[in-house]
Amino acid sequence: MQNLEQRVGKHCRFSRFISGFARFFRRTWNGMQKRIKAFAFRFKDGSVGTKLSHFVAGAGNFYHKQFIKGSLYLLLYVGFLYLMIFSPEVNSTPIGFKALINFITLGTEAGDIFTPTDNSMLMLLFGVVTIGIIFIYVFAHMSSISSSYKADLDVRDGRHPSTFKEDLNDLMDGRFHVAMLTPALIGIIVFTVLPTIFMILIAFTNFDSAHPAGQVLFDWVGFENFANIFSGTGEISVRFGPVLGWTMVWAFFATSTNYIGGILLALLINKKQIKLKKLWRTVFVITIALPQFISLLAMRNLLSEYGPINSFLINVGFIDQPIQFLANASNPWTARITIIVINIWIGVPYTMLMTSGILMNVPADLYEAAQIDGANKRQTFFNITVPYILFVTAPYLITSFIGNITSFNVIYLLTGGAPTVSGYKAGSTDLLVTWLYKLTIDESEYNIGSVVAIITFIITATVTLISYRRSKTYKEEDAFQ
Amino acid sequence: MMKQMSGAQAPVKYRSVKAAERSSTAVSYLILILLSLIWLYPILWIILNSIRTEYNDQNQLIGIVVSHYFPKQLGFENFVNLFRNTLFPRWFLNTLFVSSISFVLSTLLTLTVAYVMSKLRFSFRKKFLNLAIILGLFPGFMSMIAIYYILKALQLTQTLFALILVYSAGAGLGFYVAKGFFDIIPNSLIESARLDGANNAKVFTKIILPISKPIIIYTALLAFTGPWMDFIFARVILGETNREMHTVAVGLYYMLYGERVDSNVFTIFTAGCVIVAIPIVSLFLAMQKYYIEGVTAGSVKG
């Protein structure tokens, strides 16, 4: 009976999933059809200039005597054609149409003493860049057509086509968002989107230390790097499980210790009887203000074998031998626990600041209502203060969990991944991200590093997706609204 | 009934409650003092090391990490060494240069993007929001290698200009906190200004910016201190050998953990730390109010 129910439930969820997918595709398909129809209609309906604009960007603007705008589009058009046809070379690797071919082959000239080797890495990069340029150009060309069509309509309605000055004014008003977002978008595309796509693609090649760019060709290998996680004896198959496991343990403990510690500290400072609240808070704000490379490198040296902490512990007779807090190779948990404890020092002040703000904002009527109901202090605390804090900070808890999965400074500056595991680059305290950093920056094992990065993304994306859905249900709930 | 009964015992109970409260306050203070000591312990150690001037038998300065916490002799020798024998002054100016330019650029970018995303409605708004969320999930330095090669293709690596570009270009994605701030500005304010004939650009510069001091300071503070704290990007882009171009974080790190390490420079390192920390920490403390506002707003928004 129960089994059946379960199966039905599962079936429902599955069919909902499928129908969701179907709806998505239907919508996309309908949207595309609508767009194509609109495109065709515009071509038929537009003036000669608009029709010409489909083939030469800016033609329609010239037709409407919008010379500056038309020249700008034309310039873009000529530049694009030049790039595509002549494929100019940067660092002796072409950008343009040739780059698209190179993108598929990743270089054919293996090179000898007379001819230099094709640079597969640059070919891949420029392939991505060229595809990006094509996308952006298509977008620009479309905008030239629609600007010409808009002028058509203006003429038809008895208005004059907008002058360049009017267009500029419009950028400060009706199309203010375009003016403001364009520089940001360019920055994001060049420094975030393109590089991210490039790095994802590298996961499907054999670009590693045995194939240095410009010296040895590398090629597409499909999903081989991903398959290597589960088989083989390479670094990635042996060390992946332990590093992932420790990353999760670390993220859990780093988040929970900071969260609980921060709330407790905030409660302590915000106690009614405590005076000089601002002074106490300032003591902890100093830790946030201090650059982490300073505080963490100081910690690393404080805890070193002959540092002050070991000598203090020996002097009070707590231990006879110095403890290797961060480099004890025989037991990796010494370093791991030390890191989590130091992370409390780093992270608690931040949570404290955040929860202090929330504590001061607990709606007063909640307390009043509790007092009228005759609740004592303890009851008010556990039934109002604690649930309120948990409720308000739930999203923060998730973002900080993700932040800890990808936290770099604490591990890299404290241990650099040590204690080392002999024969492998990933040490006992390496997280996925520090391992990725070592693999790519120090060891040139780009393809494996990229696989690790993709998996890190999948983990953080999953957590975010789940939390996003949860926070949506939170929003609908009106317990504390 | 109950009330009367308890009323009879009230004086005794009252006193004991008071005493318990007083002792609990004392315990709270004790814990706070203890915690403050723990939190200040490493910071004080850096300061003490920077003014430690102890000599060995050969009359050479002892610069390594030593086991005693309090120095036996004080002096400013380390600071003199720092400014005479290392590239620290150069690193300091480099960082100041990078952070002064990139903080103006990234504050502008962050605020305009945040305002547009918060108050204007346009067709690709939702798409841009989703893109920002997805891109935020990739580990930042995953793209670093590619950025490195893009900059190399543009022949910009190992320059401070590249660093400014990288710091400012990412600013367009960090608009969430500022967006939260703009979200709570009432729309009626904007609408009435628009009725008076102000265009969107005017509304932003004349109406919104003047009442947004807290968020401007918060954004600018983070953007300015960023280059003083960043270690990851600067290290990759500037490289180890190019010492002239280092920022303070990279320069000081390599002083301790570079290829050719001299372990006798720890006290000089701490002197450098003190010089970096004094302006940054004082800036933070002076702007504390705005920082806390931003942190609280950003976290609750999620």
**Mean pLDDT, range B62-87, rounded to an integer:** 90
Determine the distance in angstroms separating the CA of A8 from the nearest CA of chain B, rounded to an integer.
34
3-class SS letters over chain B: CHHHHHHHHHHHHHHHHHHHHHHHHHHHHHHHHHHHHHHHHHHHHHHHHHCECCECCCCCECCCCCCCCCCCCECCHHHHHHHHHCCHHHHHHHHHHHHHHHHHHHHHHHHHHHHHHHHCCCCCHHHHHHHHHHHHHCCHHHCHHHHHHHHHHCCCCCCHHHHHHHHHHHHHHCCHHHHHHHHCCCHHHHHHHHHCCCCHHHHHHHHHHHHCHHHHHHHHHHHHHHHHHCCHHHHHHHCCCCHHHCCHHHHHHHHHHCCCCCHHHHHHHHHHHHHHHHHHHHHHHHCHHHHHHHHHHHHHHC
Q: Average pLDDT over chain A, rounded to whole?
A: 86
- Is there a contact between B179 and B118 (Cβ–Cβ < 8 Å)? yes
**Mean pLDDT, range B31-49, rounded to an integer:** 95
Distances (CA, A) of B255 to B95, B221, B259, B262: 16, 27, 9, 8
Cβ within 8 Å of B, A 91-130: 91, 121-122, 125-126
Domain ranges of chain A: 1-45, 46-222, 235-476
Cβ within 8 Å of B, A 41-70: none
For chain A, how long is the longest CA-to-CA vector?
Answer: 95
Q: What percent of chain B clears pLDDT 70, i.e. is strictly above it?
A: 92
CA–CA separation, A280 vs B35, rounded Å? 10
CA–CA separation, B264 vs B292, rounded Å? 39
CA–CA separation, A393 vs B295, rounded Å? 12
CA–CA separation, B51 vs B76, rounded Å? 6
Determine the distance in angstroms separating the CA of B127 from the nearest CA of chain A, rounded to an integer.
12
For chain B, how long is the longest CA-to-CA vector?
Answer: 89
Six token digits for residue A369: 């209502």
**Mean pLDDT, range A106-112, rounded to an integer:** 83
Report the chain A residue with the minimal C-alpha distance to residue B194: A173
Q: Which site among A121, A165, A188, A314 would you substitute to test the B interface, given the most B Cβ atoms closer than 10 Å to its Cβ? A: A188
**Mean pLDDT, range B222-234, rounded to an integer:** 90
Determine the distance in angstroms separating the CA of B176 from the nearest CA of chain A, rounded to an integer.
13
**Mean pLDDT, range A462-472, rounded to an integer:** 71
- Is there a contact between A208 and A202 (Cβ–Cβ < 8 Å)? no
Return all residues near B190 (Cβ < 8 A) that are at least 6 apart: B119, B203, B207, B208
Amino acid letter, residue B269: F
A71-86 pLDDT tens trace:
999 999 999 999 999 9
CA–CA separation, A450 vs A439, rounded Å? 9
A282-314 pLDDT tens trace:
999 999 999 999 999 999 999 988 889 999 999
User: Chain A residues with CB inside 8 Å of B165's CB?
Assistant: 191
**Mean pLDDT, range B285-290, rounded to an integer:** 90
Residue with the two structure tokens 């130091």: A342
Residue A173 and residue B199: Cβ atoms within 8 Å?
Answer: yes
Return all residues near A456 (Cβ < 8 A) that are at least 6 apart: A405, A406, A432, A433, A436, B139, B142
Q: Which site among B29, B40, B67 would you substitute to test the A interface, given the most A Cβ atoms closer than 10 Å to its Cβ? A: B67
Chain pair A-B, CB pairs under 8 angstroms? 265
A19-72 pLDDT tens trace:
777 888 888 899 899 989 988 998 888 888 889 999 999 898 999 888 999 999
Option in B21, B142, B229 nearest A453 (CB): B142
Option in B32, B133, B292 nearest A268 (CB): B32
**Mean pLDDT, range A329-348, rounded to an integer:** 92
Is A302 an 8 Å CB contact of chain B? yes
Cβ within 8 Å of B, A 169-208: 169, 172-174, 176-177, 179-181, 183-185, 187-188, 190-196, 198-199
Cβ within 8 Å of B, A 304-363: 304, 306-308, 310-312, 345, 349-350, 353-354, 356-358
Report the chain A residue with the minimal C-alpha distance to residue B227: A291
Binned at pLDDT 50, 70 and 90, residue B52 comes out as very high
User: Chain A residues with CB inside 8 Å of B267's CB?
Assistant: none
Residue B190 above 80 pLDDT? yes
Residue A230 above 90 pLDDT? no
Determine the distance in angstroms separating the CA of A382 from the nearest CA of chain B, rounded to an integer.
18
pLDDT at B2: 43
Six token digits for residue B115: 């305002």
CA–CA separation, A131 vs A12, rounded Å? 41
Residue with the two structure tokens 């209609």: A41
Angle at A445 between CA A441 and CA A447, to 5 degrees: 115
Six token digits for residue A120: 């597969």
| Stronger pLDDT, B157 or A210, i.e. the higher one | A210
CA–CA separation, B38 vs B17, rounded Å? 31
- Is there a contact between B270 and B289 (Cβ–Cβ < 8 Å)? no
Produce one character per residue of A459-474: b if its CB has 16 or more CB atoms within 10 Å, e if not: bbeebbeebeeeeeeb
pLDDT at B13: 55
pLDDT at A19: 79
Binned at pLDDT 50, 70 and 90, residue A473 comes out as very low
Rounded to 5 degrees, φ, ψ at A47 are -75, 180
Is A291 an 8 Å CB contact of chain B? yes
Residue B281 above 90 pLDDT? yes
CA–CA separation, A14 vs A153, rounded Å? 49
Residue A114, SS3 per DSSP? coil
| Stronger pLDDT, B262 or A315, i.e. the higher one | A315
Q: Which site among A176, A186, A448 would you substitute to test the B interface, given the most B Cβ atoms closer than 10 Å to its Cβ? A: A176
Q: What percent of chain B clears pLDDT 90, i.e. is strictly above it?
A: 39
Residue A192 and residue B146: Cβ atoms within 8 Å?
Answer: no
Residue B270 and residue A396: Cβ atoms within 8 Å?
Answer: no
3-class SS letters over A124-186: HHHHHHHHHHHHHHHHHHHHHHHHHHHHHHHHHCCCCCCCHHHHHHHHCCCCHHHHHHHHHHH
Neighbours of A244 (CB within 10 A): 18
pLDDT at A187: 87
Determine the distance in angstroms separating the CA of A110 from the nearest CA of chain B, rounded to an integer.
21
pLDDT at B243: 87
Q: What is the dihedral of CA A26, A32, A37, A38, to 10 degrees?
A: 130
Residue A173 above 70 pLDDT? yes
Q: Which site among A135, A186, A192 would you substitute to test the B interface, given the most B Cβ atoms closer than 10 Å to its Cβ? A: A192
- Is there a contact between A191 and A184 (Cβ–Cβ < 8 Å)? no
Residue A362, SS3 per DSSP? coil
- Is there a contact between A96 and A127 (Cβ–Cβ < 8 Å)? no
Nearest to B255 by CA among B77, B57, B78, B69: B78
Determine the distance in angstroms separating the CA of A1 from the nearest CA of chain B, rounded to an integer.
42
Residue A282 and residue B21: Cβ atoms within 8 Å?
Answer: no
pTM, two decimals, is: 0.85
**Mean pLDDT, range A183-203, rounded to an integer:** 89
Option in A122, A191, A406 nearest B170 (CB): A191
User: Chain B residues with CB inside 8 Å of A301's CB?
Assistant: 65, 266
Six token digits for residue B15: 């006193």
Residue B122 and residue A177: Cβ atoms within 8 Å?
Answer: yes
User: Chain A residues with CB inside 8 Å of B40's CB?
Assistant: 283, 286
Six token digits for residue B139: 């580990």
Determine the distance in angstroms separating the CA of A242 from the nearest CA of chain B, rounded to an integer.
20
CA atoms within 13 A of residue B47's CA, in its CB half-sphere: 8
Strands (E), A23-160: 89-90, 93-94
Determine the distance in angstroms separating the CA of A471 from the nearest CA of chain B, rounded to an integer.
9
CATH topology assigned to domain A235-476 = MetI-like fold (1.10.3720)
User: Chain B residues with CB inside 8 Å of A306's CB?
Assistant: 65-67
pLDDT at B246: 93
B4-30 pLDDT tens trace:
444 444 455 566 777 877 888 889 999
User: Chain A residues with CB inside 8 Å of B63's CB?
Assistant: none
Determine the distance in angstroms separating the CA of A309 from the nearest CA of chain B, rounded to an integer.
8
Determine the distance in angstroms separating the CA of A262 from the nearest CA of chain B, rounded to an integer.
12
Return all residues near A470 (Cβ < 8 A) that are at least 6 apart: A394
Neighbours of A417 (CB within 10 A): 22
Option in A90, A192, A290 nearest B281 (CB): A290
Report the chain B residue with the minimal C-alpha distance to residue A460: B137
Distances (CA, A) of B115 to A102, B195, B196, B204, B213: 42, 19, 20, 8, 14
Query: Which structural domains are found in chain B, ordered by start?
Result: 2-78 (no CATH), 80-301 (1.10.3720.10)
- Is there a contact between B237 and B166 (Cβ–Cβ < 8 Å)? yes
Is A280 an 8 Å CB contact of chain B? yes
Determine the distance in angstroms separating the CA of A480 from the nearest CA of chain B, rounded to an integer.
13
